[in-house]
Structure 1
Amino acid sequence: MADRLTQLQDCYDQLATQFYASIRYLSLHHSSSALTPPPPSNSHRNHNDSNSNANANASVNANSSHEQPASQQELPESSSYPPEQRPDTPTTFTSAQRELAQDLLLKTKQIEYLISVLPGVENSQEKQEARITELDAELREALEERRKAEQERELWLQKVDEIIGGIKR
């Protein structure tokens, strides 16, 4: 297992990759729409008050006869897009957005956790130096025990070799 700093760096790399993938998905699979509505056409307006209500009713009737059913409006027109850039349906796009956001939040929480458990965040420099001294002493003791165990192993190997040598004669 990697140390915490390596884990933190890996998480930052993964977060950057997730940001890139999210932006790419959103830019490729959104349904295109105008940022601002087109300005109203003045050619259809009649400034005469008596005719304006009739024109409004006529335009409402004309627009309603050209409207598409709701199921056809939900599906974006995919024939004008290359296969990798076809927009998703609004429900699919919304659920994908939610999933991408949850993934980003999960990764940021993981990063926050790794930062919180880093040594030294709550310890002063003196405490850290004291801990390093303790660990150094423990390491020296462990190395001494290992050296003694290796010497003992060598003694036992010599004894076993002598016994095996005595049996062969």
Structure 2
Amino acid sequence: MTDRLTQLQLCMDQLIDILFSALSYVDQNHDTVPLNPADPKEIDPNRNPPTEFDFQSSQQELATDIILKTRQILTIIDTLPGVGVTKAEQLSTIKDLRNQLKNAEIEKSKAIDKKEKLVELVNSLILEVGDTISKTR
């Protein structure tokens, strides 16, 4: 699972793709309309536009995709940490987390020192046992 910011970025990219697809579809499939109503409608024999029903249903589907993706983005934004929290509260939280990190680093350092002392003790005991065994033989 990715973090929320990555999810948000992916959804934004997907929304941009959907918007581009919608604009491209409408641009490529719309019915031609003359600029001057008195002019005759031009018909391209090489172009087969979709029926009005298909065009409208495709537009509806694209609009639905845009709405759903936008809702997904808004949901992710609402779950981001810090939404609805003041700047002072965020700074206080960061300060508390820094203090917790410092304390954890101190505990880690103490544990490493303790481990090194225990390793030295075990090594010295191994050497003593080895010396004692070699002297008894």
TM-score by length of 1: 0.54
- The number of equivalent residue pairs is 124
Q: Which of 1 and 2 has greater Rg?
A: 1
Q: CA RMSD in A?
A: 3.6
Matched, 1:127 2:93: no
Equivalence map 1:68-147=2 (5 Å): 79-81=45-47, 86-147=48-109
> Cα offset for 1:151?
3.7
Distance in 2 (alpha carbons) for counterparts of 1:112 and 1:35: 40
* Structure 1 ranges of 4+ moved more than 6 A: none
Distance 1:117-1:3 versus aligned 2 partners, 3 A rule: closer
Identity fraction in percent: 34
- Does the Cα contact within 8 Å between 2:11 and 2:69 map onto a contact in 1? yes
| CA deviation vs aligned residue, 1:78-134 (integer Å, no higher than 9, x gap) | 9522xxxx4234444333222211211111112212332333332222212211111
In structure 2, the residue matched to 1:13 is 13
Distance of aligned partners of 1:22 and 1:157 in 2 relative to their CA distance in 1, 3 Å threshold: farther
Contact persistence 1:15–1:104 (CA under 8 A) = yes
Q: What amino acid does structure 2 have at the position aligned with 1:13?
A: D
Give the structure, 1 or 2, with the largest relative contact order (CA under 8 Å, sep 6 or more).
1
Gaps of 5+ in 1: 40-76
Shift of 1:153: 4.5
Going from structure 1 to structure 2, the CA distance change for 1:102 and 1:155 (only over 3 Å counts) comes to farther
| Contact 1:78/1:87 (<8 A) preserved | no
Aligned-residue offset at 1:21: 1.0
